Amino acid sequence: MPAHESTTTSLMVPTGAEVVLRVLEEQGVEVIFGYPGGAVLPIYDALFERKTIRHILVRHEQAAVHAAEAYARSTGKVGVVLVTSGPGATNAVTGLTDAKMDSIPIVCLTGQVPVPLIGKDAFQEADVVGITSPVTKKSTLVRDPAELAPTLREAFELARSGRPGPVLVDLPKNITVSEAPLPPAPQKSAAAPAKESVDEAAIARAVDAMKKAKKPLFYTGGGVINAGDEASDLLRELAKRTGFPVTSTLMGLGAFPASNDHFLGMLGMHGAVEANMAAHDCDVLIALGARFDDRVTGRVDGFSPHSFKIQADIDPREFGKIIPSDVKLQGDLKATLKALLAAWGDTKPSDLSAWWQDIAAWRAINGFGYEQGKDAKASIKPQHAVRRLYELSKKTGRDTFVSTEVGQHQMWAAQFFGFDAPRHWLTSGGLGTMGYGLPAAEGVQVAHPDALVIDIAGEASTLMNIQELGTIVQYRLPVKIFILNNHYLGMVRQWQELVHNSRYSQSYSDALPDFVKLAEAFGIKGLRATTLGELDSTIEAMLAHDGPVLVDVHVTEEESCYPMIPSGATHDQMLLGSGKVVGGAELTEEGKRLV
């Protein structure tokens, strides 16, 4: 056969690398976050002249997953990651674990050594499936080119369906360079979509309890956001019709407007006094897409001890895992909220005036209170810095997204930055991953190029993935990095102060970089505020700049984050900054030591 005929024939059958990209296009993928290496070079070569998929070159594979997480969280789409074999794949494990804990839909494509070399300690070989299976919904090694397209299609379906989460596909190099079949995608049925099923008897029991409630409370979580924007709209309507107050987990912020009078704020270890006291004293607790995380419940046997508990979740494994529920509403949360609204109907809200009076009294305690000096030379309280950032960014009228790192600044951001819409708050909840916020901000900015994207950060967490400043510059992402710099691992210091008699073992950093010079070294505008008089003008300069900015805000070093529920305590045993115990309940011995 002449050479030109052989070439023509080979071009008619795609390689595995081409199949990968065609399936991604078929799935509507527009962006990949990745880092190349030898095992995935065939895919990168196939990507070279493609115009349909944009690739963002991160500086570390962990950052690729965090960026994809935030892209997914802020858009509702599946985030896609492409990394090489061995260390490329193992560097992604932290991000995959983070996505699993927070139910974020990710498809991670990893390179692998050729199939014949697997198990022979080849260069950059790692048992990626074995390593990642516990932290993904599914991890699959493709051993046959015929398995490639079906495996990739299944990965996307699995990532986005049910309770979302990360799925990994491990791609040996010989699979991506070999010819591979690309069967047509399965046709979706043209028939009417199946009716969203709900347990009508369980809905009836739930609504009956809600109608009889004297002290009801909606306890909402990240599952409301994962269920789509319509679920947030339905939640608002349900709160309006019932007149019930609403509280939220860290991951659920934005599902219900912070500016709504019915919103009590975040509950949990560093939650609002009114939210925690309402959770403790309520007689009917309606948990919507929330998993009773230990940072929310405090001491499990004392959590909401007087309430009839209604739990709605898409994942049946969550029922009774931590807190027993009296009514279980399993299924898609949108369908559940629609059914609750239908069953409630035109019922007039009960007289909850006494309950709202209790809530008003708890609000008056002002658990988030702090004392900010008024002199222009006064040191900056971190709470005040976040509050002014919120107020000044709101004045811009821009669509604003906030990512955070992990620590005290994360809690202050949750306490003092209000969110009125879902998908605008990006944080690491379940895993608590330092280094999440900076790559998350770049992922959000890629998804929303015209939005105002701010990473509220601590100096220690910022350094975890500081190399991503290079990605921000390369792709001209106008991300704003707002560092609350107290020289400490702040939350570690706070616990050392309260629990370990102020023995600050390895929690102080006295060799920090000059963040302004560091930003400028990357080609980013650097600003600094060290006193109260400099704060507002520095924030305004940051917001006015049309490119990326890093702001180094020097805040009071030994400020602690309150309220705080001590370990082993209940929601009516919160500590305030003054040392006062809210509720006056008897503390555990550990709680007494903290006071």
pLDDT digits over 312-341, tens only? 999 999 999 999 999 999 999 999 999 999
Q: List, edge to edge, every strand of the sheet that includes 263-266.
A: 263-266, 246-248, 216-220, 284-288, 308-313, 327-330
**If you average pLDDT over residues 382-406, what whole number do you get?**
98
Residue 10 confidence (pLDDT) above 60: no
CA distances from 175 to 20, 112, 284 (A): 10, 9, 56
Evaluate whether 398 touches 441 at the Cβ level (below 8 Å). Answer: no
CA distances from 201 to 141, 235, 347 (A): 43, 21, 18
Q: Are 188 and 323 in contact (CB under 8 A)?
A: no
Helix H or strand E segment including 481: strand 480-485
pLDDT band at 593 (very low <50, low <70, confident <90, very high): low
Whole-prediction pTM:
0.94
Q: How confident is the model at residue 153 (pLDDT cuts 50, 70, 90)?
A: very high
Instruction: Identify the band that residue 569 occupies on the pLDDT scale cut at 50, 70 and 90.
Output: confident
Contact (Cβ atoms closer than 8 angstroms) between residue 450 and residue 417: no
Q: Residue 296 contacts by C-beta under 8 Å, 6 or more apart in sequence?
A: 249, 267, 268, 269, 271, 290
Tell me, what amino acid is at 299?
A: R
- What residues are labeled active site? 61, 123-124, 173, 491
**pLDDT tens for residues 193-240?**
445 678 999 999 999 999 999 999 999 999 999 999 999 999 999 999
Top pLDDT among 72 and 579 is at: 72
